[in-house]
Amino acid sequence: MIGNWSVAHFGTRFGRAGRSVRSVFRSSAPVTYGLIALCCLLFLTGPAAGLNPAYGSGEGLLAAQRAYFHRWGVVPAELFEGAPRAVLTPATALFVHGSWVHLLGNMLFLYVFGVMTEERMGRVQFTLFYLGCGYLALLGYAAANDDSGQSLVGASGAISAVLGAFLFLFPGARVTSLLPFLLFLPLRFPAWVVLPFWVALQWVAAGRADQGPGVAYLAHLVGFAVGFGYAWARFGRTTRVKAAPAPASEGENQP
């Protein structure tokens, strides 16, 4: 799952073409919204939500959850055996989540960062980018844990790629963050401060994480690197959108 802290919203203007963040959020981002809707629908109808009576309750429900994750999630030890079904699991796992917190945390990040990234890339390119980077992120985690029999699920790798692309494309966007160690006070920082800090947290956590079940921090790092690298290769340094100073308040002279 993505997140050691939460991201709430943006609060700045962009200089290019006089467009504001509000206008971007009002724009159409069908792929981002569709991904969120699909993940939510699959979660609500699957066993992890605990709402579908077809999966039973108690021990039966737990068994159904394990079987569901094993079927649709990435099992590194099986992936590299070459079974055709297993080869598809780094893609199917992107749409499966293990808990309410897992789902809501990932969907929050996808909503906040996906809308603007999709508009910059375009619908088709963003779709291929999301699926391709997500696949590579989970594949990278599986390669580093190729003897693991634990199932890995979640969209974190793909969303981390979106964060990486966002950092390159919109480095000056100011992000309101809630930091636990600062009593969850809402603070606004540029993306070039917030996202590298998030990467540093993932790096530290990955170094301390034991192999086995838990948060796949390595998939986050791989996804972020692939996403940033793709944005750099595809759009080049001259196409990034830089933040412009906020307009002066009433009665204050513009520079």
Active site residue ranges? 156, 220
Count of all residues that appear for the chain in the document = 255
The C-alpha atoms of residue 161 and residue 103 are separated, in whole angstroms, by 17
Is the four-CA dihedral 30, 33, 35, 41 of positive or negative sign? Answer: negative
Distance, C-alpha 216 to centroid of its chain: 12
Q: Please check whether residue 191 is in contact with residue 163, taking contact to mean a CB–CB distance below 8 angstroms.
A: no
Q: How large is the greatest C-alpha to C-alpha distance in the chain, in angstroms?
A: 69
Angstrom distance (rounded) from CA 86 to CA 221: 23
Which amino acid, one-letter code, is at 250?
A: E
Closest CA to 223 of 96, 94, 37: 94
Element (H, E) at 6: strand 6-10
